[in-house]
Chain A
Amino acid sequence: MTQRAFVGMGMLVFAVALVSLAIVYVAGGTPSGGKGLRTPWGAPDLQGIWSQQTDTPFERPAQYGQREFLTEAELAARNTELGARPAHSTYRDTRKQRGTEQDVAGAYNAVFQADRPNKSGRRTSQIVDPPDGRIPALTSDAKSRQAAMKTYLDDLLQGSSGGRPGAPLADKSATHPPIYNLERMNRADGPEDRAGGERCFGAVMPAMGALQRIVQSPDSVEIFYDIGQGGGFSRVIPITGMPHLPSSVRQFYGDARGRWEGDTLVVDVTNFTNRSEFRGSRENLHLVERYTRSDAGTLAYQVTVEDPTTWTRPWTAIVELNREDGKANLVFEQTCHEGNYGLLGMLANTRAAEKLFKAGQGPDPNRMDLATGGGGDN
């Protein structure tokens, strides 16, 4: 090989390399990026502690119509409104009628309430599709499922302090709910009568704006969600191209498979169980999640929710997660079950009340309300 040819080849290799680097740079698209927003192995860096620090309604208030973002004036007005709002919802300060189950439950739950954000997000709603920002209509199947469950739960309240007091008592004998119960029920015959949250499996996917820690490697992402009175959970997203679990295996947090589409981590989640519920959807829930690092302080989380047995069409929501101070390290392990004296107490108290009533020493436990106290109902 002549020296000239050798030089030429060297130049060619270098030129090809430069071009290919440039292609990668353009395809990879680091416009908002820059160093620090990519991992050392070149993927967008999703790592850190994230939470939703702004207040955005889940569904769009009718006044905004099909508009996705607030105007500057609307944003300013909302910020003023939120700034004046107490950091916690009303039942920390306002008491229910003393001597009622609702008053006791409210006091208990208020202790665990996190402060609410006092800043507005720019979006008019978290739901961005359908264009009206509202959850699509339920299918007739879902409507009848929910109606049957509501009737069942209402019947159990009959004649109690929580529903139509004085009405004839419901027959609380061992009738099964129409679907696996995850609600607060006015019965405590056994753990299955209590709500999913009370049994420490109330945290569900998608955990929208939850406080979360993300750790990432080239072939997996692990997320720890610190939510719901210690009822949080962890999940791992393999990024390996492996197929989903057989459909016979059902999981509380589904079966996640990740892949990169450009700078977005796309996660397909299937195989949910009938013992977890997201807004009426259970084992047929299918999620497509998209994680995009928008800038140094923001991680956009977009989720498309699909269940043809529940909604008439798929729908999509976006939450902009804000980066928390990593050194402060303010996430705490999930240990709901380990300290769950509440579930034991609810069952034990109900058995004790039945015993006392039988001995003529206490009120009729069937007239008590074990369902509507203190929850998210105010």
Chain B
Amino acid sequence: MRSRLIVSVLVALGVIAVALSVWSVTTAGQIARPERTADGHPNLSGIWQVTSTANWDLLAHGMRPMVGQPGVYADVQVLAAPVVALGEAGIVPPGPGVVEGNAIPYKPDAAAKKKENAEHWLDRDPELRCYKPGIPRAMYMPQPFQITHGTDKIQMLFQYAQASRTIHMDQVNPPPADTWMGHSVGHWEGDTLVVNSDNFNDRTWLSRAGDFHSDAMKLVERFTPITADALRYEVTVEDANVFTRPWTMKMVLYRLLEDNAQLMDFKCVELVEETFLGHLRKNQLVKRWDGDTMTVDITRKIPPVDKLYER
């Protein structure tokens, strides 16, 4: 009886030791990603992306021109320059919205500013200038981001504009100044990663629809695995300068499962120079300027298939 117990213990120890050694060997090489980290938390490492249209508009919205003008009917917009040549590619895709209750509780003057922002989207949206997206917007840009789930940091690198953020799971000093991407500190509540962020500046927006915030913004984000390849993402936005109460967005982050999925260069700074510095060229390339007014000449050569009268 006693020897049987010893045998069982030996066998158990042996199995554990073999398992450990095999595990060490495989981790030294290239391994498949386990669903949990070594300390038992959901493993968030991987490449993720929303499929929603939240970056276009956080609220429920139908399709509409990216830039519109009144058509024959004043209430039915048609594509306007500068997107008229794009055809279908110039349409904002519809979306059922990501805001709880489908309303953002702006204070009255802030609501007016949001409306004005939307009307001057091309001039004001920091995204169009390739500026850092800030949080939460980075989380629902229509481009992938990669999470590297480290031991005391969770690092996120966003393909858009090479933006990155560090979620500190340990104690660190806050940054010495306000930031575009915020200062984020995380902890686990069961299988949910809860992240508190602050130290934001007031330069980033929340969407292309003109949603904005002040430097008093504080966020609480919650990342909860639904499956191995999907995370429920909730973010509560609190900013007493702009909103009457905290409000919450909910969406899903999907894992990119393609064999060749990877982050690629989207260093857009180079390609936005023409839009924002083109007026300072000695010799204009593609635009005409009259004082402060830029005129974009859109040239579309009618392809034969559209010239029915010639058939």
Contacts and interface: CB of A to CB of B under 8 A. Distances in A.
A13 B18 contact: yes
Contact of A242 (B37, B38, B260, B273): B260
B13 interface: yes
Interface in A221-273: 221-222, 224, 233-236, 238-242, 245, 249-253, 259-260, 262, 273
B10 A13 contact: yes
Given A199-B270, A354-B282, A28 B17 contact: no
Interface in A315-367: 326-329, 332-335, 337-338, 343-344, 347-348, 350-351, 354
Interface string A198-235: 01110000000000010111111110100000000111
Contacts of A251: 264-265
Contacts of B22: 20
B148 A216 contact: yes
A24 B25 contact: yes
B38 A249 contact: no
A174 B177 CA distance: 43
Nearest to B285: A190
A20 B21 contact: yes
Interface string B1-19: 0011011101101111110
A351 B149 CA distance: 49
A7 B149 contact: no
Nearest to B31: A218
Interface in B92-136: 126, 129-132
A7 B173 contact: no
A189 interface: yes
A42 B28 contact: yes
A239 B32 CA distance: 10
Given A201-B269, A224-B164, A218 B33 contact: yes
Contacts of B10: 7, 10-11, 13-14
A335 B17 CA distance: 49
A20 B30 contact: no
Interface residues of B, number: 80
A240 B25 CA distance: 15
Interface in A1-48: 3, 6-7, 9-11, 13-18, 20-21, 23-24, 27-28, 39-43, 45, 47
A252 B265 contact: yes
A328 to B, nearest CB: 6
B304 to A, nearest CB: 31
Interface residues of A, number: 80
B227 interface: no
Nearest to A221: B148
A266 B132 CA distance: 31
A335 B21 contact: no
A184 interface: no
Given A199-B273, A327-B172, A218 B45 contact: yes
A127 B245 CA distance: 59
A83 interface: no
A165 interface: no
A275 interface: yes
Interface in B223-277: 259-260, 262-265, 267, 269-270, 273, 277
A16 B18 contact: yes
Given A14-B13, A189-B281, A39 B4 contact: no
Given A23-B21, A215-B155, A190 B39 contact: no
A191 interface: yes
Nearest to B30: A241
B280 A344 contact: yes
B148 to A, nearest CB: 4
Interface in A271-291: 273, 275
B136 to A, nearest CB: 16
A23 B282 CA distance: 69
B61 interface: no
Contacts of B39: 40
Contacts of B149: 217
A337 B18 contact: no
A191 B28 contact: no
A219 B269 contact: no
B277 A20 contact: no
Contacts of A273: 265
Contact of B280 (A42, A215, A326, A351): A351
B30 A233 contact: no
A21 B19 CA distance: 10
Given A47-B150, A201-B267, A14 B14 contact: yes
B32 to A, nearest CB: 8
B151 interface: yes
Contact of B180 (A23, A253, A335): A335
B24 interface: yes
A200 B272 CA distance: 12
Indicate the member of B174, B273, B285 with the most A CB atoms within 10 Å: B273
Given A215-B153, A221-B148, A234-B162, A174 B180 contact: no
B51 interface: no
Interface in B141-176: 146, 148-155, 157, 162-164, 166, 168, 170-176
Given A28-B24, A188-B282, A245-B262, 16 more contacts: A13-B10, A17-B16, A17-B18, A20-B17, A23-B21, A200-B269, A215-B154, A238-B262, A252-B267, A260-B29, A273-B265, A326-B152, A337-B129, A337-B130, A338-B180, A351-B280
Query: A-B pairs with the 6 shortest C-beta distances?
Result: A17-B17, A40-B38, A13-B14, A215-B155, A347-B280, A10-B10
Interface of A: 3, 6-7, 9-11, 13-18, 20-21, 23-24, 27-28, 39-43, 45, 47, 174, 188-191, 199-201, 213, 215-222, 224, 233-236, 238-242, 245, 249-253, 259-260, 262, 273, 275, 326-329, 332-335, 337-338, 343-344, 347-348, 350-351, 354
20 contacts: A3-B7, A6-B4, A10-B11, A20-B17, A45-B151, A190-B280, A200-B269, A215-B148, A220-B45, A221-B148, A222-B164, A234-B164, A245-B264, A327-B172, A329-B172, A329-B174, A333-B175, A335-B131, A347-B280, A350-B282
